[in-house]
Amino acid sequence: MEDKKEEIAIAVEHVCKVYKLYDKPSDRLKEALKLTRKQKYHESHALSDVSFDIKQGECVGIIGTNGSGKSTILKIITGVLNPTSGNVRVNGRISALLELGAGFNQEYSGMENIYLNGTMNGFSKEEIDARLQDILDFADIGDYVYQPVKTYSSGMFVRLAFSVAINIDPEILIVDEALSVGDVFFQAKCYHKFEEFKKMGKTIMIVSHDLSSIAKYCDRVILLNQGVKLGEGSPKEMIDDFKRVLVGQYELPEARSEKSLLNDAEVQEAVQTKAAAQKRAREHGDDQSKTLEYGTKEAEIEEIYITDDRGTKTNAIIKGLEFGIHMRVRFHQDLPAPIFAFSIKTAKGTEITGTNTMFEKAFLEPVKAGAVKEISFTQKMSLQGGEYLISFGVTGYEGNDFKVYHRLYDALDVTVVSDKNTVGYYDMDSKVVVKDAKKQEDGTIIEFKSSSSAM
């Protein structure tokens, strides 16, 4: 039993965080001085009975809408905040990069803040000296390290903060959205560091709105909404559920009294039971049950299929040739301007590409109830060889409100057959020319001999 505990890096047990909100500052003062018996505040539940374990060596992402409690749970784990109730157990040295500015003195120089942070994490001056060059090299902010931090741009600040966080030998690294302010080159360097940490068996927690990065780097994802954990599971599964939350198509727990948490355990159990049932249905049911679908059903996708360059229905497409993605949609209500869409993602859930009739300016018309539309998207297959999943949707705007009429997630799989794969997901189909140049003594080129790739 002891060995199992050692495998857990972070254990969050029934954590609740309740804030007291006062209408006026004087009400807070009256209550503090016990000048009134009447309750002058109302409660806001930032977290309600949240529980999860993170194993050593895992990379776990936390996703959710703004105000869902993501940053709050990280602050409780790192000790910045105390929970109202519940417990958090941490096994290992934590290094955290929370919101911009946390843990740094704005009046100190970057160099002084390096030593300040190192000391706060229990390192001696000699140990910080040994790591100093690695910190400076990774941050790469030059002589600005000797200037006060308050003069830094947000990009310079996050470079230094992240460099300090990863070079103090953490066993657990926690990052809260801060990398989004860095430039693309620095973000790539940070994610490369995440890969190194994973190989070293270190634990990583990431909060991010970048769902592609969550899908690529995380082993598991936790979905929060309005302070409640809706579920945890594979990145693909949780990202799909998150998208349903964004468009109001996820069956959220019933609203609870702000003054009571008595039903939170039952709510959490119901959510987890439903998620497990959905997962079993997708794994063991028929083809239709494997497809995650939702929407108002005012319009309904009745048929979906893929065709090759000869118009034959197939799920295998040869790279470089044209292919079609097709759907048939039946309308049960009058709709002002439906939008037909598809997207392609990897098996792990990373969205690669997609389009819709609004982007393509192909169909911007009202449709009457009873109508049936056949929609075809034709394009060249430029993805690398491998397995991909295609999702379909019929959506639209009614005034300023975005509506999902019907969505089918991961409804079709497609195999791309290729005898040449390049780097990444997409083949740019480059034409290569290599030239031999003869030069005079002054360096002037006087003759070319060339060979090129097949055109």
Give pLDDT, residue 359: 94
Q: Are 181 and 155 in contact (CB under 8 A)?
A: yes
Strand pairing of 401-417 and 292-294? antiparallel
Supply 39's token pair. Answer: 């309750």
Report the candidate in 55, 61, 56, 94 with the shortest Cα–Cα distance to residue 76: 94
Give pLDDT, residue 96: 80
- Split the chain (455 residues) into runs of 10 and give each run's mean pLDDT: 65 92 76 72 86 93 90 90 93 79 80 87 86 90 90 86 84 79 73 84 88 84 93 89 80 43 42 45 43 89 94 92 96 96 89 94 93 96 92 93 92 90 88 80 62 55
Strands (E), 200-252: 203-207, 220-225, 228-233
Burial of 52: CB neighbours in 10 Å, binned 0-12, 13-18, 19+: middle
The DSSP symbol for 69 reads S
Supply 174's token pair. Answer: 């926690």
Tally of CA atoms within 13 A in the half-sphere of 332 that contains its CB:
11
Strand pairing of 339-346 and 351-356? antiparallel
Domains and CATH numbers, the chain: 2-92+171-246 (3.40.50.300), 293-417 (2.70.50.60)
Report the candidate in 374, 70, 411, 49 with the shortest Cα–Cα distance to residue 209: 70
How many angstroms separate the CA atoms of 340 and 394, rounded?
5
Mention every residue, 6+ apart, whose C-beta is less than 8 A from residue 143: none
Give pLDDT, residue 400: 87
Amino acid 196 reads E
> CA-CA-CA-CA torsion for 164, 178, 57, 121, nearest 10 degrees?
30
Give pLDDT, residue 296: 93
pTM, to two decimals: 0.71
How many angstroms separate the CA atoms of 349 and 347, rounded?
5
Supply 111's token pair. Answer: 């160099």
